[in-house]
Amino acid sequence: MWGLQACEPDAACNTIVDTLNRISLAKMNDHLLALTGVGSRDPRHPGHAKAIAYIKEQLGALAYYGWKIESQRTVYQGIPLENIFASIEGATAAWSGSIIPPLPPSTTSILVSAHYDSIANRTPGWRPALDPAPGADDNATGTAALLEFARVISQGVREQLRSRIVLAFFDGEELFFKGSGAYVSSLEKPYRYKAAINLDMVGFNPLADRLDLLWYTDVSAGLRDEVMKANRLYSIGISPLNPQFAMDGNTIMDAAPFGLAGIPSIALCQRYGDNDSTFPGNYTFHTVNDTPDKITNARLWLKAAKLTLATALELAR
């Protein structure tokens, strides 16, 4: 279903096609149901710890394939936050260390991120520590995709890669990207990230297979173009794919801290801004009604996952 054709008579490219075709919508949906099933992933709610345990359990099951699983803990206004990282080396990279350390000058990393926390503060009287915040579209869709990336990357494409792939499950995005901000602040210069790609809210739109492509500061223009090229090269079929310049980097997405730091970064989401003829508005996000039944465009969700991973693998090969 929605299979991709080989982009060019090129072994690495064809391996990427095979990898993209292994992305399973059913497996992503299983992850989404598990993540929404904890009740709330707000860091003040008991369900947050259950979500962390689930993510680590799923990633830990793939450690045999070379994934290194790490955490970074931080605090925002007394609220504990935990970023989770899964990294895997390309076939030509060699590395040991912790918390994704700086690399030798000849080596770079590609970061793919999604935030796993949730919030329902648009529901009147909502209580963070007690009430549901299922966060199906925002952002169990992105989190589930990253978990599926870990599975399919484990199945052979690594041999075609020269760069490290880092999957970042950020916390505290709903508190104004406090998890990703803390991570970027902890990085040493010169930065060893070639690109940061963020996936957030990509399963709702019932009108069109549309994504908005937010790019952060002029340094990200080349990455923007790589995403648009991957959409064409791998015949993924996102249409429309709308580039939007986040002029000052303040757009609330986890790509923003990377862009402001000078690291090429983009965010993919189903719509950022006012409603139009290709997007009817999602009035359930940030409410207790952002439930799995609101994922009304599974085809878009799968295409968004394929475009994200295709771009990352192209940059890493």
The pLDDT score that the predictor gives to residue 177 is 94
pTM equals 0.93
Distance CA 198, CA 285 (A): 18
User: If you search the block for the tokens 């996952």, which residue do you land on?
Assistant: 305
From the list 103, 49, 39, 90, the residue with the least C-alpha distance to 71 is 49
DSSP string across 203-237? S--SS-B-EEEEEESGGGHHHHHHHHHHHHHTT--
pLDDT of 92 reads: 59
- For 74, 164, 299, 312, the CA distances from 106, given in Å and listed in that order, are 30, 12, 38, 18
Q: What is the pLDDT of residue 95?
A: 43
> What DSSP line would sit under 115-161, residue for residue?
E-----TTSTT--TTTS-B--IIIIIHHHHHHHHHHHHHTTTGGGG-
Residues comprising the chain, all counted: 317
Rounded CA gap, 72 and 81, in Å?
A: 8
CA 225 to each of CA 30, 299, 311: distance values in angstroms, whole numbers, following the listed order: 32, 23, 10
**Residue at 104: amino acid letter:** P
Q: Which pLDDT does position 4 carry in this prediction?
A: 55
> Can you list the alpha helix ranges (DSSP code H) found in the chain?
11-21, 25-36, 46-60, 141-153, 178-186, 221-233, 256-260, 298-316
Q: Does domain 11-316 have CATH number 3.40.50.720?
A: no
pLDDT per residue of the chain (317 residues) written in tens, 0 to 9: 334 555 665 767 888 999 999 999 999 999 999 999 999 999 999 999 999 999 999 999 999 999 999 999 999 999 999 999 999 998 755 444 445 545 444 458 999 999 999 999 999 999 999 999 999 999 999 999 999 999 999 988 888 888 999 999 999 999 999 999 999 999 998 899 999 999 999 999 999 999 999 998 889 999 999 999 999 999 999 999 999 998 765 677 999 999 999 999 999 999 987 899 999 999 999 999 999 999 999 999 999 999 999 999 999 98
Contact assessment for residue 132 and residue 288, using Cβ atoms and an 8 Å cutoff: yes
Domain ranges of the chain: 11-316
Q: Look at residue 238 in the predicted model and tell me its pLDDT.
A: 98
Integer Cα distance of 182 and 22 in angstroms: 33
Are 215 and 313 contacting, i.e. CB atoms less than 8 angstroms apart? no
HSE, side-chain direction, 13 A CA sphere, residue 4:
28
DSSP state of 313: H
- pLDDT at position 7 is 65
pLDDT for position 28: 98
